[in-house]
Structure 1
Amino acid sequence: MTKLNYDYEEPINNNAININHVSEDELLFLPGINRQLAKNIIEYRQSHDGFSQISELLQVNGIPSNLLRRIYADITIDSSSCSSLNNKKELINLNLASYDELCSVAGLTPNLVKRIIQRRERKGLFRSLRDLLKIKGIDYIILETIRPFVTVDDKKIRTSISYTSLNNLYSTLNRNDDNAKDTLLFISRLLQTLPNETQTLLLSSFPSHPSVIPNHTNKQNTFRFVSWNLQQLTNDKVQNPGVREVICRVILENNFSLIGIQEIGNKESLDSIVQELNNPTIPSIKNWPNRRHGKWKSITSDASIETLQTAEYLGFLYDESIGIEFKKASLLPFKTYFAQLPYITIFRIFNRLELVFVNIHLTTKKSNGDKSEEKKDEAKSLSVLAQAMKNKIEQKHVIIFGDFNSVPTASEFEALVKCNYSYVIQQNTNISLKEPQGSICIDNIWLSEEAKSLRNSGIIRDNLTNIWIPNGWALGGLVSDHCPIWMEFDLS
């Protein structure tokens, strides 16, 4: 049997099925394999003359490493299949191959091929594949991507091709990133060196999902709004394709048209999300089924809070193509009451109704360690905000939303209740890999009395990770420790 290159041995299972002979229906007996994945496996097998080893399943669309782990004990490839398949796949010798032959290797761009040939001519023959790491633009990911298809020894006949699993690759990355100050930035730059076909393999951890929130309403009269604290969304963070993939995927899956965002670390951070939505480069977003071509725009406040070390902004993404028109926006000038200023924005929807959205990240002002005084200050802030909405704003449909850093039943929210506001979200809104169901409700949407009739709401807790988002010293982390919270407006 073929060994799978994980950190442990493959157990012997006499009932394992041979993936080079199994039918589509038989594949459905494997845990986690649905009809679409079974079709993908069969299509890949037919187009590649079969599988040469089990880990090649990672190249099948929709098969991530965690699913391969679940099924690997139940699948096999017999030795005769391996032998015949490998004979059909002749390795390309880096020391002898022409320019065109090297260009045929998945993972090598024309520029990298030119550098390989230039180094070969200047330095002589390659002694090992690791010599490729000395070439500008070739890193550990590219090396492991091309390893199954190349060799430096024309006399060496392989009976199997070694393909390092993604899990082992993560370990390699971590060992070679001891001096990196920012793991997120390191991974982002590393991924940017890869050709598109390699990004497709590495970023396609999630198959296309159906809409998490069923949409049975009249699209001409409804739109969906979501609030999301994206936890220090800096320029460096948003350059990670895994981060952009999660954000854009959540928007597309759930047909969101207006997104209010807290904890923006740089004023330009939302530009990358807008660019990805309008002109996708990430394969899973670019190839999204039935993707509607919107006209996405963003607006970002001035710094709502600013210190010597950092600044934080509030902002919105919105799809102008469905009839959302930005009218005006401003930070509320209440520095006496708020440590971080609320961002009030007015949108005209379907050329029919103007809605007021107040984006807020509530942080308690310090008051010499007296927690009771902090609570009073926080309550006073909300009272001032509610009165301002009542007396200064002519529009009556007001939505106050964001990260309040407190449960909605806390006493400091009595000021909003007295002004006939009510909150929408009751579930926990935080999330972690250890506690995926969360533990506290700190994000919410508060509606004025006039806006209450518009509500249909919920929380999104699934599919918020990506294999290229750091999780401490590992990968596969969450895009934020806050869940997106949403509501649907019906203006019919």
Structure 2
Amino acid sequence: MGQTPSSVTSGKKMSRMERQTSFRVLLRRSMKKKAKLSHTFSLPPSNDSGCSAEYPELMNVNTATEEQLMTLPAVNRQLAREIVRHRQMIGGFKRVDDLALVSGLGAEKLELLRPEICIKKQLSRTSSCTQSLDSVRTNGESRLYSINSSSIFQLQCVPGLNQEIAANIVDYRNKKGPFKSLDDLIKVRGMDNIKLLTAKQHLSLELRKFESMQALNGHVNDWPELSPFLSNISMNRSIPKSRFSFPKLPNGYASAPVDDILELLSAYSHRPLLEDLFTYERHGVRCCRLASWNLHQLSLDKIKNPGVREVVCLTILENKFSLIAIQDVIDVGALKEICDELNCAGLRRVREWKSNSRNWRCYRPASHRESLGFIYDAGDQITVEAVDEPSEAIRRLLDEVAGLTSERFTAVAQAFAICRHPVVVVNVHCFERLTDEDCKHIQRVTELSRELNLQLTVVGDFRTWDNVESLKTCESLIDEDVVTTINTKHIGRSSILCPGTIDKSNFNRHSGAVRSGLCHLAIPRDWSWGGPASPFCPVWAELNVPD
């Protein structure tokens, strides 16, 4: 008698979890008998608060200040600040599990906090009057926003401006150039004298370095002029988040830093679980993965979208591609942007990827064929280097490819040294059905490689399977039933070919197409979000490079 259910062991030794549960029950019962509460806790106003009146010691994370949050287990000032910032960004937590998305919290800390916290959507009478010193300091800070570099997210926070006018300002700036006077804002569609008078005291013409980068835009894939609202969002890589101060929006919540918004979009963008863990070895033989990817109108504007950049970089890293042939490159600098992100990442997911050599390089031939290029890893696991001074035999083969001219396809060849083994890669992009004459020209290249005893592979987007089959002297490592497009709207057939037969080549018959993890919530899809980085899937094949 007198024993609580949690204290009865029935002859068995209690587990650690049972002892912790028992301790919490006893603690709560003892707390109910005491009238004194810590001054850091908010007193629940009524029984319908969402925090149970039976346990008044539970902290409401929707109303708690930074100082109050710091009384919780494993919560320091930085984590408390992140909880408050995330709460303001999403308009309040709806359930305890939402705290898992707070930067620096994670599942383990959440389990420690779960017995101590609760969720209540309404604002508490006490917490509305109790602000932390940091909250007062942040809300009290003010600065001028530059109309020549601020994003739509920032301009819409200026008194007198809404999202539509902010988007029109950015659109006007992109078309006409920087504003020379604040009074020129009257020329922007939707602006009037009253709005201009209200907004002018919060604006300046000064260019700010951390606001100058375009991050999200409507020129992604084939969606031109999607919306002026998406044309310019700033993204900072070097200035700490604590340096930013954001005014309050009309709904009472502080406007969220763009980095936090992108972080939230990234957290909800699915990344695949890899079934085959590739270790640069197959059956005891060292090998590497060659890949081909049509990135569909790859421009500087497109690759500056953080969603596109994250998808491209993570797809390369997750699948451990050593050499990637890229098709449909509009701007040469876009390849360098990809390498810069891989080498010195600004995106958290890319930065935290452990098995990254951070020694990526790009190559584009110095010719008119600017739509084709290569990205390769010059790291330690599998070293890939572009051959600047090829041998006479390789030079003869490269000259033969340079002579391929047609309106139906474009092709470029480059010699690489993969772990000191020379390999000539021919990058092809077909636009129409190949003629018999086109096929003869390409077959002449493959026959010459066998005559010179050189390792050659033909990769790229051949548009249709008929074009792949028409190259009689080559065998495809990608089967016909492998789908290499995301939807039926776009026509494409990416493949990797080897001269002769696969059995007589250095390829080990392991190949595939990547079809998951190609979408991101920061990429437009028609008039919604969650689009793909490209409508075409990357394909890959493994090439043996024995010691």
For this structure pair, what is the TM-score category when the shorter chain's length is used for normalisation? 0.5 to 0.7
What is the aligned counterpart of 1:431 among 483, 486, 496? 486
Give the direction of change, closer, same or farther, for the CA distance of 1:362–1:281 in structure 2 (3 Å limit). same
Q: CA deviation at 1:304?
A: 5.3
1:478: which partner in 2?
Answer: 532
Q: CA deviation at 1:467?
A: 2.6
Give the direction of change, closer, same or farther, for the CA distance of 1:80–1:206 in structure 2 (3 Å limit). closer
C-alpha contact (below 8 Å) 1:454/1:491 kept by paired residues: no
2:459: which partner in 1?
Answer: 401
What is the one-letter code of the residue matched to 1:347? F
2:475: which partner in 1?
Answer: 421
1:388: which partner in 2?
Answer: 445
**1:191-233 CA-partner distances (Å, limit 9, x unpaired):** 3479664343222233495763532445592222221100011
1:326: which partner in 2?
Answer: 386
TM-score, with structure 1 as normaliser: 0.62
Matched residue SS, 2:266: coil
Larger-gyration structure (1/2): 2
- Within 2, Cα distance between the matches of 1:273 and 1:246? 11
**1:77-101 CA-partner distances (Å, limit 9, x unpaired):** 32577555544445989xxx8xxx3
Matched, 1:344 2:413: yes
In structure 1, runs of 5+ residues without a counterpart are 1-13, 23-38, 65-75, 117-131, 153-167, 306-311, 365-374
Matched residue SS, 1:401: strand
C-alpha contact (below 8 Å) 2:513/2:537 kept by paired residues: yes
1:191: which partner in 2?
Answer: 234
Give the direction of change, closer, same or farther, for the CA distance of 1:173–1:225 in structure 2 (3 Å limit). farther
- Within 1, Cα distance between the matches of 2:290 and 2:427? 12
Identity, % of aligned positions: 23
Matched residue SS, 1:357: strand
- Within 2, Cα distance between the matches of 1:81 and 1:478? 40
- Within 1, Cα distance between the matches of 2:297 and 2:359? 25
1:214: which partner in 2?
Answer: 276
- Within 1, Cα distance between the matches of 2:51 and 2:447? 68
User: Where do 1:68-467 residues align within 5 Å?
Assistant: 77-78=119-120, 82-89=124-131, 101-102=137-138, 113=142, 115-116=143-144, 137-142=149-154, 183-184=218-219, 187=230, 189-192=232-235, 197=241, 198-204=257-263, 205-207=265-267, 209=271, 212=274, 214-218=276-280, 221-286=286-351, 288-302=352-366, 312-322=370-380, 323-328=383-388, 332-337=401-406, 339-351=408-420, 353-364=421-432, 375=433, 377-391=434-448, 394-407=452-465, 410=466, 412-416=467-471, 418-425=472-479, 426-432=481-487, 442-448=493-499, 449=501, 450-451=504-505, 453-467=507-521
- Within 2, Cα distance between the matches of 1:420 and 1:49? 61
What is the one-letter code of the residue matched to 1:445? I
C-alpha contact (below 8 Å) 1:347/1:356 kept by paired residues: yes
- Within 1, Cα distance between the matches of 2:445 and 2:314? 36
TM-score, with structure 2 as normaliser: 0.56
Matched, 1:469 2:523: yes
- Within 2, Cα distance between the matches of 1:355 and 1:339? 26
**1:161-193 CA-partner distances (Å, limit 9, x unpaired):** xxxxxxx98x99878877778723874642347
- Within 2, Cα distance between the matches of 1:341 and 1:184? 25
- Within 1, Cα distance between the matches of 2:329 and 2:337? 12
Matched residue SS, 2:505: helix
C-alpha contact (below 8 Å) 1:49/1:85 kept by paired residues: no
- Within 2, Cα distance between the matches of 1:476 and 1:232? 18
